[in-house]
Amino acid sequence: MSDTTPSMNGAPASEREAILAGLANAVVKLDPALAAEFAQRAITTGPDAYEAINDGLARGMTVVSGKFERREYFVPELLRAAKAMNTGIGLLEPHLKVDAGMHKGTVVIATVKGDIHQIGKNLVALMLRTAGFTVHDRGSTARSRRS
Ligand code: B12
């Protein structure tokens, strides 16, 4: 594919790749302002919001995970990476294409009490909503059983 070949979303392939790389890089560089800048560029020119989240921001978080495991990043860096990721998602979310077809079902989702990880859970909830499911998100303090 040449540098100026249009992608499926309108933007040239090189521009699309640059935006996806920019989103990933913003998370790796722990930079919410950069994440916002590239999210805005995605909204204006493509790739679409789903791709921008999955192939951009989430790809960056995979790199961050590797750095955490190699002890190059620690919890404070993870928090800043999460902030960058959430900033990008917040801007992109209203632009996700929602499947307005048949109601597919209802899902209850949560992170169990004691575990504060919620980026993956939030992402899954977002994707289920855009796919036509009703999602009850119980947040990140849900008890694992009724007391
Ligand atoms: C970011 C992060 C954090 C952030 C979380 C910010 C937030 N608000 O969510 C912060 C800094 C708070 C954090 C804290 C801690 N963390 Co942490 N964290 C991570 C890290 C680097 C990335 C997780 C992430 O968001 N990934 C991006 C998302 C998009 O991917 P994902 O979570 O995998 O989700 C995808 C799939 O798993 C799946 N999925 C997820 N949920 C669901 C639900 C359903 C229903 C379905 C179908 C699919 C699905 O779909 C998602 C989208 O593709 C991982 C490393 C890793 N390898 O995962 C460690 C990791 C999860 N953390 C870990 C640890 C140990 C901790 C701490 C205990 C560290 C400490 N010493 O304090 C604390 C936990 C405190 C607590 N009480 O919970 C360990 C967990 C080990 C374990 N198995 O128990 C990991 C694996 C790192 C490691 N290798 O040691 N962490």
> Which of 117, 122, 127 to mutate to test ligand 1, by most ligand atoms within 8 A of the CB atom?
117
Question: Would you call 71 exposed, middle or buried from its count of C-beta atoms within 10 A (0-12, 13-18, 19+)?
Answer: exposed
- Of 139 and 27, the one with more pLDDT: 27
Which residue puts its alpha carbon closest to atom 40 of ligand 1? 120
Which residue puts its alpha carbon closest to atom 70 of ligand 1? 75
Statement: residue 7 has pLDDT above 60: no
In this prediction, residue 8 has a pLDDT band, given cuts at 50, 70 and 90, of very low
Average pLDDT over residues 26-51: 95
- If you measure from the C-alpha of residue 117 to the centroid of ligand 1, how many angstroms do you get, rounded to a whole number? 5
Rg, the chain, Cα only: 17
In this prediction, residue 110 has a pLDDT band, given cuts at 50, 70 and 90, of very high
Average pLDDT over residues 25-53: 95
- If you measure from the C-alpha of residue 65 to the centroid of ligand 1, how many angstroms do you get, rounded to a whole number? 8
In this prediction, residue 11 has a pLDDT band, given cuts at 50, 70 and 90, of low
Statement: residue 100 has pLDDT above 80: no
The pair of three-digit structure tokens given for residue 140, joined into one six-digit string:
């990140």
From the CA of 58, give the closest atom in ligand 1: 29
CA–CA–CA angle 91, 93, 99 (5° rounding): 155
Q: What is the pLDDT of residue 9?
A: 52
Distance CA 104, CA 135 (A): 11
From the CA of 122, give the closest atom in ligand 1: 41
pLDDT tens column, 40-98 = 999 999 899 999 999 999 999 999 999 999 999 999 999 999 999 999 999 999 998 87
Statement: residue 4 has pLDDT above 60: no
In this prediction, residue 104 has a pLDDT band, given cuts at 50, 70 and 90, of confident
Q: What is the pLDDT of residue 147?
A: 56
